[in-house]
C-alpha cells in the first residue's frame, strides 16, 4: 500500500510541476520564481538531512558531484523557467520525456556504455520526429514559442549531461547528500545571478504565484525527491520509468482543462511520437531478449 501511494504521489507531483512553474512566474517573474523555489527547497532538504543519519562530506569527488548536480538544479531549471514564459506548461513535460533518450546517448558517448542498440536507434528516430512536429506547432504560434521550445530542450540536455557526469564521477554518495550539496551550490549561483541581473522583489505577488512557489519548494522539490528515490529502492527501474510515460499526457490535459492551453492536432501527434519513442527506448530490447529466450 505504501508503494502504491508513493507511486501515485510521484505521478501527481511530476504531472503538476510544469503548470505550477507556469503559475509561479506569472506575477513574480521567472528569476524570482526559480530562486525562491530553490531557497525553500534547500531549507527543506537540509532539514531532512539534519533529521536523517546522513551528513554532507567535502572530499574531492563529493565536491565534483555537488557541482554536477548543481548543473541540473541551476543551469537546467533556470533555462526551463525562462522558457516557461513562452510555451504551454504541458509542452515542458512532453519535451522532458526525452530525458532518458538523451541520457542514454550521452552515456554511450561519454561512458562508452553499449546503449546504441536497434531499439534505442529506433526510439531516437521517433523522438526526433515528434520534436520536429512540436517545433512546427511552435512556429505556428510565434517566434517566442520556438525560443521556449529550444530553451526547454537545452534544459533537458543539461539535466541529462548532469546525470551522466554524476555517474562518471561515481562518488557513491547517498542521493539525499548529493541533492543537498547540489542545492547549496545552485542556491549560491541563483543569488549571484539575482545580484548581477538586478533582480527585484515582486510588488504585486498574486496568491496563485505564491502558492505555486511554496508548492514547488516544499512539496515538489523535497517530497517528490524523497518519494522518487524510495520507489527506486522498492521497484524495478522500468516500473519507475513508466512514470515518464504517464506524466506528459496528464500535464497536457491539465494545462488544457485548467489553464486553457493550446492543444492542437500537431501537439497531439508530436506528443504521441515522443511517448512512443520513450516506450520503445524502455521496452523494445527487453521484448527482443524475452522472445529469444
Rounded Cα distance between 158 and 112, Å, is: 19
**pLDDT for position 60:** 92
Residue ranges in the chain modelled with pLDDT below 50: none
**pLDDT for position 173:** 87
Question: What CA–CA distances, in Å, run from 275 to 23, 95, 96, 139, 272?
Answer: 25, 10, 11, 21, 5
Q: What tens digit of pLDDT does each residue of 89-129 get?
A: 999 999 998 888 888 888 888 877 666 677 778 888 989 99
Which residues span the domain enclosing 21?
A: 2-292
Rounded Cα distance between 134 and 151, Å, is: 13
**pLDDT for position 241:** 67
Quote the Cα angle for 5-284-4, to 5°: 5
**pLDDT for position 242:** 73
Number of domains in the chain: 1
Amino acid at each position: 500500500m505504501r508503494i502504491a501511494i508513493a507511486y501515485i504521489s510521484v505521478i501527481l507531483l511530476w504531472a503538476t510541476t510544469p503548470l505550477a512553474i507556469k503559475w509561479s512566474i506569472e506575477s513574480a517573474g521567472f528569476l524570482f520564481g526559480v530562486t525562491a523555489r530553490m531557497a525553500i527547497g534547500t531549507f527543506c532538504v537540509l532539514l531532512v538531512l539534519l533529521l536523517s543519519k546522513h551528513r554532507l562530506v567535502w572530499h574531492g569527488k563529493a565536491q565534483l558531484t555537488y557541482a554536477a548536480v548543481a548543473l541540473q538544479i541551476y543551469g537546467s531549471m533556470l533555462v526551463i523557467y525562462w522558457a516557461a514564459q513562452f510555451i504551454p506548461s504541458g509542452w515542458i513535460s512532453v519535451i522532458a520525456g526525452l530525458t532518458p533518450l538523451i541520457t542514454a546517448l550521452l552515456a554511450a558517448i561519454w561512458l562508452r556504455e553499449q546503449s546504441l542498440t536497434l531499439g534505442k536507434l529506433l526510439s531516437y528516430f521517433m523522438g526526433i520526429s515528434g520534436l520536429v512536429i512540436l517545433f512546427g506547432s511552435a512556429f505556428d504560434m510565434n517566434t517566442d514559442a520556438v525560443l521556449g521550445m529550444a530553451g526547454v530542450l537545452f534544459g533537458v540536455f543539461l539535466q541529462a549531461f548532469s546525470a551522466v557526469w554524476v555517474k562518471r564521477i561515481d562518488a557513491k554518495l547517498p542521493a539525499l547528500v548529493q541533492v543537498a550539496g547540489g542545492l547549496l551550490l545552485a542556491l549560491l549561483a541563483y543569488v549571484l545571478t539575482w545580484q548581477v541581473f538586478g533582480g527585484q522583489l515582486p510588488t504585486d505577488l498574486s496568491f496563485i504565484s505564491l502558492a505555486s512557489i511554496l508548492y514547488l519548494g516544499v512539496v515538489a522539490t523535497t517530497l517528490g525527491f524523497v518519494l522518487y528515490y524510495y520507489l527506486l529502492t522498492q521497484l524495478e527501474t522500468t516500473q519507475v520509468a513508466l512514470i515518464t510515460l504517464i506524466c506528459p499526457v496528464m500535464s497536457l490535459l491539465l494545462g488544457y482543462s485548467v489553464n486553457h492551453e493550446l492543444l492542437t492536432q500537431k501537439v497531439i501527434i508530436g506528443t504521441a511520437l515522443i511517448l512512443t519513442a520513450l516506450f520503445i527506448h524502455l521496452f523494445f530490447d527487453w521484448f527482443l531478449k524475452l522472445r529469444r529466450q
